[in-house]
Amino acid sequence: MGRLFGTDGVRGRANADLTPELALALAVAAAHTLAETDRSHPPLAVVGRDTRASGEMLEAAVVAGLTSAGANVVRVGVLPTPAVAFLTAEAKADLGVMLSASHNPMPDNGIKLFAAGGHKLPDEIEMRIEAAVETNATTAWDRPVGAGVGRVHDLLDGADHYVQHLVGTVPHRLEGIKVVVDCANGAAAEVAPVAYREAGAEVIAIHAEPDGLNINDDCGSNHIEALREAVVEHGAHLGIAHDGDADRCLAVTADGDEVDGDQLMAIIALAMREAGTLTQDTLVATVMSNLGLRLAMSAQGIRLIETKVGDRYVLEELRASGLALGGEQSGHIVMPAHATTGDGVLTGLHLMARMAATGKSLAELASVVTKLPQVLINVPVGDRTVGAAAPAVRAEVERAEAELGETGRVLLRPSGTEPLVRVMVEAATEATAREVAERIAALVRTASPAAS
């Protein structure tokens, strides 16, 4: 068996790669690994899902696994991933389980696990759970019987509780803001329009009729064309796009221009610094964020810390350093004062609050970041480690970095899952970025030719 956990839980094609049997085994292992060592009371787990049809099947398997391990389960139904994390913390549960493949197509699904407090798992805990599944340790644990078997309860007002929490964080009412929200026919469909309306905005919801099969289908944060058209058609001030489990937020201006996660982070960072809530005047982002974000923050006196790719690493840095804001270019924005994970609806609320407070358009606010042209080349290789570390490749990277100076950068990153080396170059012009990227890519191919 290969590595189960990726950068965001266990993910695969539902009922093929991610089977009910695997879901059950993961649930048993998670219950034994994450539950409190004090067994004077049964462990408690919160379980939620997005709108995928396969979520019903996998939910049944996960609940069976948890209860067979003696855990009591609170099912919260269809809710965003950050809502499940929030309710896990609110219920003082030992663990939370979210069934979602986020922005992936409908046939995929995933299992995201949260520890007590609603926090994502560190690598060490994931490895312990994975080892238990791979060695069939889940069949060796003593199974409770009689009154020791876990019980299942349904929480019917979880969405209301979560919306109240979100709206309570908004620093400025949203009256006067007209927004189109693309719910991706996913977990945002119920809560996002309600949260935005309760905060004062005029809301037009699109792709908010999930049927189990249409999640992320030409909609949401991966397909914003329809959102662009709807914003212009309705004369809205902005559009907001969520993904299937609503932990992402991207936006479009009144003219339909995309505003990515880097620009959203910059807007919120400046608002928080003005309010005195941007701890240490520091923002956390990944190495994939555009150099334009770093330059913009530096010009504003805000320090930028970079992490590896993946919102989990942003979260780890935020927690380790006690910081208040971080995120990814893809739209995962984390505000630890209000959420333990990326929360797309929370981001949308605070973005619109900044617009309402300043009276500025989204385009004007987003203009603080001037994005540098970026070229990414995925180079197929025989050995991704050799291709990235070859002396000729490293020498060329150093030469390119010297050429670009502070006006650009080079990022060479072996893929974590495929035989690829990713060559990313940013420069003052796209022509320069492409020339440098192609030069480095050619050396990577020579250093480790792809298998024929």
Given the residues 54, 68, 100, 102, select the one marked as catalytic.
Answer: 102
The ranges of the chain annotated as CATH 3.30.310.50 are: 374-447
CA-closest candidate to residue 266, choices 346, 178, 364, 359: 364
From the number of C-beta atoms within 10 Å of its C-beta (0-12, 13-18, 19+), residue 452 rates as exposed
* pLDDT of amino acid 372: 92
* pLDDT of amino acid 310: 82
Which residue type does 389 have? A
Q: CA 223: distance to chain centroid?
A: 16
Q: Is 102 a catalytic residue?
A: yes
Q: Is 243 annotated as a binding residue?
A: yes
* pLDDT of amino acid 35: 80
Name residue, tokens 């994931």.
126
Q: Is 54 annotated as a binding residue?
A: no
CA distance 350 to 355: 9
- What are the C-alpha distances in Å from 383 to residues 387, 389, 419? 6, 10, 7
- What are the C-alpha distances in Å from 417 to residues 14, 308, 356, 413? 19, 15, 43, 12
Give me the CATH topology for the region 374-447. Answer: TATA-Binding Protein (3.30.310)
* pLDDT of amino acid 111: 97
Widest CA span in the chain: 71
CA-closest candidate to residue 174, choices 362, 353, 344: 353
Q: Are 246 and 344 in contact (CB under 8 A)?
A: yes
For 387-407, the pLDDT digits (tens) are 888 999 999 999 999 999 988
- State the Cα angle at 337 between 334 and 340, rounded to 5°: 50
pLDDT band at 39 (very low <50, low <70, confident <90, very high): low
Mean pLDDT of 158-177: 97
Mean pLDDT of 415-435: 88
Give me the CATH topology for the region 160-366. Answer: Alpha-D-Glucose-1,6-Bisphosphate; Chain A, domain 3 (3.40.120)
pLDDT at 2 over 60: no
Q: CATH homologous superfamily of domain 5-156?
A: Alpha-D-Glucose-1,6-Bisphosphate, subunit A, domain 3 (3.40.120.10)
Q: Are strands 44-49 and 72-78 parallel, antiparallel or unpaired?
A: parallel
The ranges of the chain annotated as CATH 3.40.120.10 are: 5-156, 160-366
Percent of the chain with pLDDT over 90: 85
For 301-311, the pLDDT digits (tens) are 999 999 988 88
* pLDDT of amino acid 36: 58
In the numeric block, which tokens belong to residue 20? 């009910």
Q: Is 160 annotated as a binding residue?
A: no
Q: Is 102 annotated as a binding residue?
A: yes
pLDDT at 418 over 80: no
